[in-house]
Amino acid sequence: MSTTTLTPVFAALADDTRWAILQELGSAELSASALADRLPVTRQAITKHLAVLAECGLVESYRAGREVRHRAVGSRLTETARALEAIGTEWDRRLAAIRRIAEAP
Amino acid sequence: MSTTTLTPVFAALADDTRWAILQELGSAELSASALADRLPVTRQAITKHLAVLAECGLVESYRAGREVRHRAVGSRLTETARALEAIGTEWDRRLAAIRRIAEAP
DNA sequence: GTTGTGTGCAACTCCAGAGTTGCACATGCT
DNA sequence: AGCATGTGCAACTCTGGAGTTGCACACAAC
């Protein structure tokens, strides 16, 4: 996963309301209206957030009768986490190498 | 690490310019002016970004003569990655449990 | 001392996005 | 059929933040 694909995910995760939505959808599959009942924002706001989250694969949706249920996609988060960890490790590795050279006798 | 401490880190990582800065600082320790030479933004913009990144522990700084050098902190990223992975796993675990109950005979 | 380079602070512009209201449409239930 | 509920789309407001310019100060080198 490149940095280019990473940024939109972080942009999605940078909002408190979206985290609140994800927290709900990580415990149960809910419709936009059901989410609006549990959170202090409008259903339309929720719908917009769900679009952002779906765009980068953090939520999946399906119709159930006349309502649309949504759920959090944990694997997408795990995938992102692995990419992050790799980058962090790489930073430390490279900077440690530079320090080693600088302190060489 | 709670979700509360997580959001600012993602807000910091949600910007392309900041990622560019982090990429540079993951390979070498540079001053704000040196970064401004390599990136298509002003030194003042870089300084603001560095403040955001330092605020959530993603970069560290130290004075070297009259200049201030900065470096990326990989461990902070790794730490965040582990928290993310735990949350993702938890989502999948809970939703799988619900599906199992729903499909029970 | 003077010059050049690096830093710090403040005020300003500008746009993306978070949230709202309003209306129209679809579908389930009685 | 009639009503209630869930959804979709569009237009609007408003604040945060990314980036800029401008100026003042610190320190190293000559």
pLDDT tens for residues A61-86?
A: 999 989 999 999 999 999 999 999 99
* Least confident piece of the model among A91-95, A101-105, B3-7, B44-48: A101-105
pLDDT of residue B2: 60
Sheet holding B67-72, edge to edge: B30-31, B67-72, B59-64
CB of B33 within 8 Å of any CB in chain A? no
pLDDT tens over chain B, length 105 residues: 566 689 999 999 999 999 999 999 999 999 999 999 999 999 999 999 999 999 999 999 999 989 999 999 999 999 999 999 999 999 999 999 998 887 766
Tell me the three state secondary structure of residue B32.
helix
From chain B, the residues in CB contact with A10 under 8 A are: 10, 13-14
Residue A90 pLDDT exceeds 90: yes
Q: Is residue A87 within 8 Å of residue B26, measured between CB atoms? A: yes
Q: Is A55 on the interface with B (CB under 8 A)?
A: no
Gap from B48 CA to chain A (nearest CA, Å):
18
B24 CA – C1 C1', rounded, Å = 38
For chain A, which residues make up each domain, given as ranges?
A: 3-102
Residues in contact with strand C, defined as Cβ under 7 Å from any of its atoms: A 11, 14-15, 17, 40-42, 44-45, 48-49, 52, 65-66; B 31-34, 43-44, 47, 66-69
Distance from A7 to chain B by nearest Cα, in Å?
5
- Judge residue B65's burial from the number of C-beta atoms within 10 Å of its C-beta, 0-12 exposed, 13-18 middle, 19 or more buried: exposed
The backbone torsions φ and ψ at residue B58, rounded to the nearest 5 degrees and listed phi first, read -85, -20
Min Cα–Cα distance to chain A from B81, Å? 4
Asked if CATH classification 1.10.10.10 holds for the domain at A3-102, the reply, yes or no, is yes
Task: Report the alpha-carbon distance of residue A24 to residue A26 in Å, rounded.
Answer: 5
Contacts of B2 in chain A (CB under 8 A): none
| Nearest protein residue to the C1' atom of D20, measured from CA | B42
Cβ A89–B80 below 8 Å, yes or no?
no
Which DSSP string corresponds to B53-71? HHHTTSEEEEEETTEEEEE
| Residue type, position A45, single letter | A
Q: Does B75 touch chain A (CB under 8 A)?
A: yes
Q: Check residue B31 and give its pLDDT.
A: 98
For A101, the token pair is 């050279």
Residue of A nearest to B30 (CA): A95
